[in-house]
């Protein structure tokens, strides 16, 4: 066994874990680890401009690669700056391993320079966290951190590394396996429950699949698609699950919830059997809980996290297990097509009813004035035409996010990054940069708002430094659009502090960073400019002026039932 | 409804903060709490009393089970068990009240553990009802100060709270069979 410093153990452990890229920012308490990093070029380090950016980049990397994203930051402010990203990852079940420097163990608790109690601060927003006090615990702790972050319901894990532990000499032996007495996720679903679920589905008249981000994390997109297509049951995906089922399949009803399609929400409200898979009945999905899916006699819920089951909505047939395992098991057990034929006649009628709702009230669509601002939906259509569904599409938070979620077709899973649970403005640009390091050959399109882009704009410098060809499209209405929309609808049009009076010149700003900048003021210039922007190498910022008062519809006001929708 | 819950946790730095933080962060209530090492010094046992309807208590046990440092959670609600808490009570005493005080102590099988010319400290152990009853009788004599422990509980007979090989699975299967029986 080799003797080495704690800092070297950190780097060796990351390499043993198969990590190729880390996102970070150096500082006093993490300097020993940075010294070990530069001596080990096998580990690529991406220098960010703000630690929050590092956390979101690691999230983007994790979401596209399926592997935990790694962040290295210093103590105190370096680590507290990652907290928003950690909380974001926690809400969206994204695996992160955050390695934070800490003041030497002898100084912990003394209010030392750049000291903050990071295990205390992050306890409620991490899956687990550690303060390493002995260099000989270091390798095992990092092994456990990766195992916890990536297994079960994934999530962020923080490891606090006091400076003296990084400097101490220890023996390095990376453990092959992890033994945690208190953590054994259930993988295989209960046989009897799976049987009951299949019986309920086969006896249903108006069944509906409702699938969430868990499908992506358990890599269940392919078997789920096979199951849904085999059964011929309509399916709606949550915001987090766009792309796990192909959008162009007639069975796909798109996103449900607060900004879901009329037909999609009506399908939820009228189904008699709801099959929830890796989704958590978030309030943006259910609306008023007491009136959610009122006609559903049976709700089936497949999830790896037992605490998600019957948390918001009472579930009749819970199945705890890994979604991929459970769905593969269900695939084996469903009846043959001939056996299902009489049911499928009913299901086809049900699907026809849903399509009737869609014909009655499709998503609002109007052709914009070629001399006026571009319509948001035209921007999304144009981006799709240019990328053919092969791009990784990233958004920030707000109106542009909902328009994209409603309109953008997806053909593949791991192609859609957005901040769902926490709704973190400033997520888009860094997440898009992180995605590039996981999928360097795929186009990366970041759709952003004029508010959101300014919340982590500094990461343009990171994109320029590492020549990340991220294409950022700003839907610029000079407003915090979603806030403005709520103020219009629910606060009698009192637009309290939602207008940005001093909008930067984004073209010059991009150029100042060394990126390319474009601006589209008239609808007629949209298509050629987007085409030129996407063909420009390196990072590109496109500032597209959109109408100031455009809203996202349909909309279920907070606290209303899913069928109580506003259409304008 | 009040529930007494015992939690087997890793005996490590910060574990109580994880348990307590879960309750405060999710708006659950802790009415009493007691924690100490078990026979196995790598494990601690937390016993707490909480309240809520069935759905809330189900969430509490599920969320506790989700903590990496938690090995096992049991709710004593439907189990045959004994519960005890203890109180130390400092009571004013003088020539007139000494005999009455000693009578109460004897009836409740409590103990006098400190004697001072003007006050006694009484140690009483029992369930919550017994301790409340004794405090009611002592009140007229003049209670100067009390301190009460949290509740502790054990199953009667052979059943034990021991570290299982697969904490989560064991718990879930148990719940499922209970539900199936109910159906």
Shortest alpha-carbon distance between residue B17 and chain A (Å): 8
Residues B61 and B18 placed together within one structural domain of the fold: yes
Question: Is residue B20 included in any domain, yes or no?
Answer: yes
Of the candidates A127, A306, A314, the beta carbon closest to that of B62 is on: A306
- Residues near B133 by Cβ (< 8 Å), separated by ≥ 6? B108
Number of CB atoms found within 10 A of residue A409's CB: 16
- Residues of chain B positioned with their CB less than 8 A from the CB of A184: 166-169
Whether residues B123 and B102 fall in one domain: yes
- Rounded CA-CA distance A325/A214 in Å is 12
For residue A213, the SS3 value is coil
- Strands ordered across the beta sheet of A252-255: A252-255, A235-237, A207-211, A273-277, A298-303, A317-320
Where do the structural domains in chain A lie, given as residue ranges? Answer: 2-172, 191-360, 376-545
Q: How far apart are alpha carbons A443 and A534 in whole angstroms?
A: 9
Nearest to A503 by CA among A533, A545, A534: A545
Show the domain range for B48: 2-79+159-182
What tokens does A354 get?
């849903």
**ipTM of model over 0.95:** no
Same-domain status, B137 and B167:
no
Are B16 and B72 in a shared domain? yes
Buried b (16+ CB within 10 A) or exposed e, B62-95: bbbbbbbbbbbbbebeeeebeeebbbebbbebee
CA distances for A128 relative to A98, A144, A346, A506, angstroms: 11, 10, 47, 40
Least CB-CB distance to B68: which of A148, A311, A320? Answer: A148
- Nearest beta carbon to residue B169 from set A180, A182, A186: A186
- CATH code at B101? 3.30.70.1150
As beta bridge partners, residue B84 has B152
A70-108 residue pLDDT tens: 999 999 999 999 999 999 999 999 999 999 999 999 999
Q: Tell me, yes or no, whether B7 lies in a domain.
A: yes
Question: How far is residue B179 from each of residues A318, B172, B173, measured CA to CA in Å?
Answer: 11, 11, 10
Average pLDDT, chain B: 89
A90, A125 Cβ separation under 8 angstroms = yes
Cis peptide before A408 (omega within 30 of 0): no
Residue A320: list chain B partners with CB under 8 A: 172
Tokens encoding A498: 């939602």
With a CB cutoff of 8 Å and minimum separation 6, the contacts of B158 are: none
Number of folded domains that form chain B? 2
The answer to whether the Cβ–Cβ distance between A190 and B55 falls below 8 Å is no
Beta strands at A298-303 and A252-255: parallel, antiparallel or unpaired: unpaired
The yes-or-no verdict on residue B167 having pLDDT over 60 is no
Which chain B residue's Cα is nearest to A152?
B66
The whole-angstrom separation of Cα A553 and Cα A550 is 9
Q: Which parts of chain A register pLDDT below 70?
A: none
Q: Residue A307: which of B14, B63, B163 has the nearest Cβ?
A: B63
Interface residues on B facing A, Cβ-Cβ cutoff 8 A = 9-10, 13-14, 17-18, 21, 25, 55, 58-59, 62-63, 65-71, 163, 166-169, 172-173, 176
Place of tokens 């687990």: A128
Structure tokens at A33: 């680890």
Which residue shows structure tokens 């059943």?
Answer: B159
Percent of chain B's residues with pLDDT above 90: 84
The H or E element containing residue B170 is helix B167-182
Q: How far apart are CA A237 and CA A228, in angstroms?
A: 12
Q: How far apart are CA B80 and CA B153, in angstroms?
A: 10
Q: Which residues of chain A are within 8 Å of residue B168 when distances are taken between CB atoms?
A: 184-186, 306
SS3 assignment, position A410: coil
Cα distances (angstroms) measured from residue A121 to each of A44, A129, A157, A260: 28, 10, 13, 35
Helices A221-231 and A323-333, packing angle to 10 deg: 30
pLDDT at B108: 96
Compute the distance between CA of residue A22 and CA of residue A358 in angstroms, rounded to an integer.
Answer: 45
Which of A266, A407, A408, A482 is catalytic? The answer is: A482
CA distance A491 to chain B (A): 30
For the segment B84-131, what is each residue's pLDDT rounded down to a tens digit?
999 999 999 999 999 999 999 999 999 999 999 999 999 999 999 999
Give the CA angle between residues A491, A496, A499 to the nearest 5°: 120
Active-site residue flag, A344: no
Q: Give the three-class secondary structure for A276.
A: strand
Residue B153: inside a domain: no
Give me the residue from A124, A182, A311 closest to B167, CB to CB. Answer: A182
Facing A123 at nearest CB: one of B18, B70, B172: B18
Please state the φ and ψ torsions of residue B85, each to the nearest 5 degrees: -135, 165
Q: Is B10 helix (H, G, I), strand (E, B) or coil?
A: strand
Q: Please give the residue of chain A at the shortest CA–CA distance from B171.
A: A306
- Please provide the size of chain A in residues: 568
Residue with tokens 């390319």: A516
CB proximity A123 to B under 8 Å: yes
Integer Cα distance of A204 and A335 in angstroms = 14
How many CB pairs below 8 A link A and B?
57
Report CA-CA distances (Å) from A190 to A151, A318, A326, A500. Answer: 19, 9, 9, 54
By the CB < 8 Å criterion, does A185 face chain B?
yes
Distance CA(A373)–CA(A377), nearest Å, equals 12
pLDDT single digits (tens) A365-409: 888 899 999 999 999 999 999 999 999 999 999 999 999 999 999
Which CATH number does the domain housing residue B25 bear? 3.30.70.260
The radius of gyration of chain A from alpha carbons, rounded to an integer in Å, stands at 24
Confidence label for B172 from pLDDT (cuts 50, 70 and 90) = very low
- The fold of A191-360 is Rossmann fold (3.40.50)
**A504: number of Cβ within 10 Å:** 15
Flag whether pLDDT at B180 surpasses 70. Answer: no
**Which candidate in B168, B178, B180 is best for mutational testing of the A interface (most A CBs within 10 A)?**
B168
Q: Return the beta strands (E) in A305-421 as ranges.
A: 317-320, 392-395, 416-417
Chain A nearest-CA distance from B23, in A, is 11
How close A538 gets to chain B, by Cα (Å)? 43
Q: Is A114 a catalytic residue?
A: yes
Half-sphere exposure of residue A488, counting CA atoms within 13 Å on the CB side? 16
- Which of A51, A325, A329, A550 is catalytic? The answer is A51
Residues 153-182 of A with CB under 8 A from B: 180-182
B172, A119: Cβ pair inside 8 Å?
no
Indicate the pairing of strand A470-476 with strand A540-545.
parallel
Residue-level pLDDT at B165:
55
Say how many C-beta atoms besides its own lie within 10 A of residue A144's C-beta: 21
d(CA A199, CA A197): 5
Cβ-Cβ contacts under 8 Å for A473 (sequence gap 6 or more)? A379, A383, A445, A446, A447, A448, A530, A533, A542, A544
A376-545 architecture in CATH? 3-Layer(aba) Sandwich (3.40)
Catalytic status, residue A51? yes
- Tens-place pLDDT, residues B39-81: 999 999 999 999 999 999 999 999 999 999 999 999 999 899 9
CATH 3.30.565.10, applies to A2-172: no
* Partner residues linked to A130 by β-bridges: A159
Query: Which of A264, A422, A416, A424 lies closest to A351, judged by CA?
Result: A264
Q: Which candidate, B38, B4, B33, B42, places its Cα nearest to that of B155? A: B4
């Amino acid at each position: 066994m080799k003797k080495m410093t704690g800092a070297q153990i950190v780097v060796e452990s990351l390499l043993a874990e198969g990590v190729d890229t880390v996102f970070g920012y150096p500082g006093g308490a993490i300097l020993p680890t940075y010294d070990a990093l530069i001596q080990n070029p096998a580990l690529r380090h991406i220098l960010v401009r703000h630690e929050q950016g590092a956390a979101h980049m690691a999230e983007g990397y994790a979401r596209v690669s399926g592997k935990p994203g790694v962040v290295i930051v210093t103590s105190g402010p370096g680590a507290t700056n990652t907290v928003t990203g950690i909380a974001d990852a926690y809400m969206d079940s994204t695996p992160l391993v955050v390695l934070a420097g800490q003041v030497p163990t002898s100084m912990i608790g003394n209010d030392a320079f750049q000291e903050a109690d990071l295990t205390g601060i992050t306890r409620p927003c991490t899956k687990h966290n550690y303060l390493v006090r002995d260099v000989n615990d270091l390798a095992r702790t990092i092994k456990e951190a990766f195992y916890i972050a990536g297994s079960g319901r994934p999530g962020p894990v923080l490891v606090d590394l006091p400076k003296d532990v990084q400097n101490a000499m220890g023996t390095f032996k990376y453990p092959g396996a992890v033994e945690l007495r208190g953590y054994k996720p259930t993988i295989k679903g209960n046989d009897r429950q799976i049987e009951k679920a299949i019986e309920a589905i086969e006896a249903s008249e108006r069944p509906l699949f409702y699938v969430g981000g868990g499908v992506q994390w358990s890599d269940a997109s392919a078997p789920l698609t096979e199951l849904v297509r085999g059964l011929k049951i309509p399916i709606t995906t949550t915001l987090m699950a766009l792309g796990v089922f192909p959008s162009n399949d007639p069975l796909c009803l798109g996103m449900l919830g607060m900004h879901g399609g009329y037909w999609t929400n009506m399908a939820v409200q009228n189904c008699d059997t709801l099959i929830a898979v890796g989704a958590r009945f978030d309030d943006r999905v259910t609306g008023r809980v007491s009136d959610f899916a009122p006609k559903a006699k049976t709700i089936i819920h497949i999830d790896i996290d037992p605490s998600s089951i019957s948390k918001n909505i009472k579930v009749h047939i819970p199945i705890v297990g890994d979604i991929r395992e459970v769905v593969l098991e269900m695939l084996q057990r469903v009846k043959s097509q001939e056996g299902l034929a009489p049911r499928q006649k009913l299901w086809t009628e049900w699907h026809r009813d849903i399509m009737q709702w869609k014909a009655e009230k499709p998503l609002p669509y109007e052709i914009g004035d070629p001399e006026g601002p571009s319509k948001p939906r035209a921007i999304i259509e144009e981006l799709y035409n240019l990328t053919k569904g092969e791009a990784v599409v990233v958004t920030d938070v707000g109106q542009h996010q909902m328009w994209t979620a409603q309109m953008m077709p997806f053909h593949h899973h791991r192609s859609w990054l957005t901040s769902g649970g926490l709704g973190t403005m400033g997520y888009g640009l860094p997440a898009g940069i992180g995605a590039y390091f996981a999928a360097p050959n795929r186009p990366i399109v970041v759709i952003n708002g004029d508010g959101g882009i300014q919340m982590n704009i500094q990461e343009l410098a990171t994109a320029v430094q590492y020549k990340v060809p991220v294409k950022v499209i700003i839907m610029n209405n000079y407003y915090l659009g979603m806030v403005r929309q709520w103020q219009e609808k629910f606060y009698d049009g009192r637009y309290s502090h939602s207008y940005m009076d001093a909008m930067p010149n984004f073209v010059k700003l991009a150029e100042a960073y060394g990126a390319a900048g474009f601006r589209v003021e008239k609808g007629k210039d949209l298509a050629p400019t987007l085409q030129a922007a996407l063909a420009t190498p390196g990072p590109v910022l496109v500032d597209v002026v959109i109408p100031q008062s455009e809203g996202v519809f349909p909309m279920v006001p907070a606290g209303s039932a899913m069928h109580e929708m506003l259409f304008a | 409804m009040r529930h007494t819950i015992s939690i087997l946790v890793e005996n490590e730095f910060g574990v109580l903060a994880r348990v307590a933080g879960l309750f405060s962060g999710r708006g659950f209530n802790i009415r009493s709490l007691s924690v100490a090492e078990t026979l196995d010094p790598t494990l601690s046992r937390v016993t707490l009393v909480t309240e809520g309807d069935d759905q809330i208590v189900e969430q509490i046990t599920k969320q506790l089970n989700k903590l990496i440092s938690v090995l096992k959670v049991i709710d004593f609600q439907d189990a045959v068990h004994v519960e005890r808490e203890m109180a130390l009570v400092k009571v004013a005493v003088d020539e007139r009240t000494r005999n009455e005080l000693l009578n109460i102590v004897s009836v409740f099988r409590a103990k006098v553990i400190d004697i001072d010319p003007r006050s006694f400290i009484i140690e009483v152990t029992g369930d919550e009802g017994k301790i409340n009853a004794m405090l009611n009788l002592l009140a007229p004599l003049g209670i100067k100060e009390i301190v009460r422990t949290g509740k502790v509980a054990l199953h009667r007979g052979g059943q034990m709270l021991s570290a299982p090989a697969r904490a989560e699975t064991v718990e879930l299967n148990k719940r499922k069979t209970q539900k199936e029986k109910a159906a």
